[in-house]
Amino acid sequence: MTSITSVLSGITLPEANKHIEPKLSTCEVGMFRLPGILLDIEQWTKEELEEMDTWGVANGGKKMTDKLWSFRSEAKRDWFILRWS
């Protein structure tokens, strides 16, 4: 009979990539602390980012920088997150 230690020593588990940041993270923007989103643009394709820009502006978002979006309400921010997560 083999021991559990000898069986487990032959098993290798895949390493989780610890360097991947979340695609979206929430934040507050400006002195009025508006609800915002920070995007990790490296994890999106160019086409997805262009579609996101169009959809975001049409649905109440304002693109502050290439990575930062601002919204007038948390509901609009949550709608953006729901659509793009």
Q: Rounded CA gap, 3 and 13, in Å?
A: 19
Instruction: Mention every residue, 6+ apart, whose C-beta is less than 8 A from residue 21.
Output: 40, 43
**For 40-50, how does the pLDDT look when each residue is reduced to its tens digit (9 = 90+)?**
988 889 999 99
pLDDT higher than 70, residue 83: yes
State the pLDDT at residue 38.
94
By C-alpha distance, which of 61, 60, 68 is closest to 25? Answer: 68
